[in-house]
Amino acid sequence: MDIVVDLPDLVTICLSAMITHLEAYGLEHVFDLTKNFQSFSARAHMLLNGNTLSSLEIYSNQTDGTERGSLFWTMNRTQTRFGRRLLRRWVGRPLLDKSKLEDRIAAVEELKNSTSPKTPLLKDLLSKVKYDLEKGLIRIYYGKASRSELLTILQTLMKIASAFPRVEDVSQAGYASSILNECLAVLPRINEDVQEYLSRFNYGAAQKDDKYNFFRETEDYETITDHKMGIAAVEQDLQEHLTEAAAAVKKKRLEYITVSGIDYLLEIENANIKNVPATWIKISGTKKVSRFHTPQVVNMIRERDQRKESLAAECDRLFKEFLLQIALKYQQFRDVVQSLATLDCLISLAALASLPGYVKPSFTNDTCIVVQQGRHPMVEQLLLDAYVPNDVELVATRNRTMLLTGPNMGK
């Protein structure tokens, strides 16, 4: 609320209108994540319009509109889906801040030349994260995740959180780059929370999406146990009723059968049907047998079904509450996913930088572009013939334009 209170009046009015609008879709809670609020004046990246993205073939080629042959296709070597989305944003929104550019490039260079034992461990971790955690966390936040999804998300987060030891001092995470250290230091911080959530439910039941046996039997979930005991008591009464029913039709014993999904049927041969009390209700039959429910069975089945409905409702209610508890940690979990996505992108760029002919750029405060032996990154990968490199030197105070002729002019 402190952030909202400090906003200008017109921005607050706009925010109120947006919240009211999104309430109709159940999405208003997105504005609880005030950490993502950012001023337009603080923009640190370039805004490229649709025509520019299309003309430069940033996301798709102009031949058939597919991703193959685009700049993103050339650069993408990410392992995770959320890492891929982040790199896509990086490629389409180039940084403007020189210090941030240099920090990112320093991280890429360190990963490219890394001898740290943590680098192969990090690559191995990324290769094992198959689930789209970013979308999974959103499903938890809005209470849409299933029990099996929740298990997969928490187990994947546990794998991430336990991959590296926790450090109190971020600078001791193992790298010289502040970006790498900050991202690595975030990963283990959710370890205790994830362990606590995983300890509350049965993994086997979660995999089967079994709502009735999902939670472990603890004091927090005594209501579920009470409902189950009530159902068990009714089922015990049904079994005890068999003795009374057998005596009524002058048989030593009877057993319940299930036919066409109808439980607790008492099957009597038609030859002995004269012994069946008039109060028994015929449910179905064949030429040889008839199947009945006694009035007591009808009442007990009704009671059992009511208790089952109450159990199902209680299981759903407690699961919704459980998702809400996890949603309170959404920002911490999302920070971990974002940190892992950043590491994925940097490792992808390091893999690209390791290819022949790629060099580390240098940034200057002067207005100039100087490229020696430059090649078109997409055309080079698709061209069958040898590509002829070009030198480019554009300086604001001297030559501001350049005209290319010959075979390279269209590349």
Q: What is the pLDDT of residues 304-341, one digit of tens each?
A: 999 999 999 999 999 999 999 999 999 999 999 999 99
CA neighbours within 13 Å on the CB side: how many for 134? 13
pLDDT tens, residue by residue, 355-408: 988 999 999 988 899 999 888 888 878 776 777 888 889 998 888 887 777 655
Which position has the higher pLDDT, 86 or 381? 86
- Residue 105's pLDDT is 96
Asked if the model's pLDDT at residue 219 lies above 90, the reply is no
Cα four-point dihedral sign 164, 169, 172, 178: positive
Query: Over the range 222-236, which residues count as b (16 or more CB within 10 Å of their CB) and which as e?
Result: eebeebbebbeebee
- Region 124-153: what's the mean pLDDT? 95
Residue 370, SS3 per DSSP? strand
Of 47 and 241, more confident: 241
pLDDT of residue 40: 65
**In sequence order, what DSSP letters do the residues of 226-293 get, joined into one string?**
HHHHHHHHHHHHHHHHHHHHHHHTT-S---EEEETTEEEEEEEEGGGGGGS-TTSEEEEE-SSEEEEE
Query: Which of these, 18, 22, 37, 29, lies nearest to 138 by C-alpha position?
Result: 29
Q: Residue 298 has what pLDDT?
A: 96
Domain 47-218+318-353 top-level CATH class:
mainly alpha
pLDDT, position 397? 86
| Closest C-alpha among 82, 190, 206 to residue 135 | 82
Q: What is the pLDDT of residue 374?
A: 87
Residue with tokens 């180039």: 94
Q: What does pTM read for this prediction?
A: 0.84
pLDDT of residue 408: 55
277-301 pLDDT, tens digit per residue, is 999 999 999 999 999 999 999 999 9
Alpha-carbon torsion (170, 175, 177, 180), positive or negative: negative
CATH topology of domain 220-313: MutS, DNA mismatch repair protein; Chain A, domain 3 (1.10.1420)
pLDDT surpasses 90 at 53? yes
Beta-bridge partners for 89: none
pLDDT at residue number 346: 97
The residue among 241, 239, 240, 242 whose CA lies nearest residue 251 is: 242
Residue 253 has pLDDT above 70, yes or no: yes
Report the distance separating Cα 119 and Cα 117, nearest Å. Answer: 6
The residue-averaged pLDDT of 221-242 equals 94
Whether 244 shows a pLDDT value over 60: the answer reads yes
The pLDDT value recorded for residue 138 is: 93
Residue 273, burial from CB neighbour count under 10 angstroms (0-12, 13-18, 19+): middle
Q: Is the pLDDT reported for residue 411 higher than 70?
A: no
| Cα within 13 Å of Cα(119), Cβ side | 18
How many whole angstroms separate alpha carbon 303 and alpha carbon 231?
8
Place of tokens 């059968």: 257
Q: How confident is the model over 53-73, as a mean pLDDT? A: 91
Long-range contact set of residues 237-240: C-beta below 8 Å, sequence gap at least 24? 237/300, 238/264, 238/297, 238/300, 238/301, 238/304
Q: How confident is residue 42, by pLDDT bands cut at 50, 70 and 90?
A: low
Among 295, 294, 278, CA closest to 246? 294
What's the mean per-residue pLDDT of the chain?
Answer: 90
Domain boundary assignment for the chain: 1-42, 47-218+318-353, 220-313, 368-410
> Is there a common fold for 47-218+318-353 and 220-313?
yes
pLDDT for position 35: 72
Going by DSSP bridges, is the β-strand pair 368-374/281-285 parallel, antiparallel, or unpaired?
unpaired
Bridge partners (DSSP) of residue 290 are: 268, 285
Tokens at 239, concatenated: 């079994």
Q: Which residues of 87-116 are buried (b: 16+ CB within 10 A; e: fewer)?
A: bbebbbeebeeeeeeebbbbbbbbbbebee
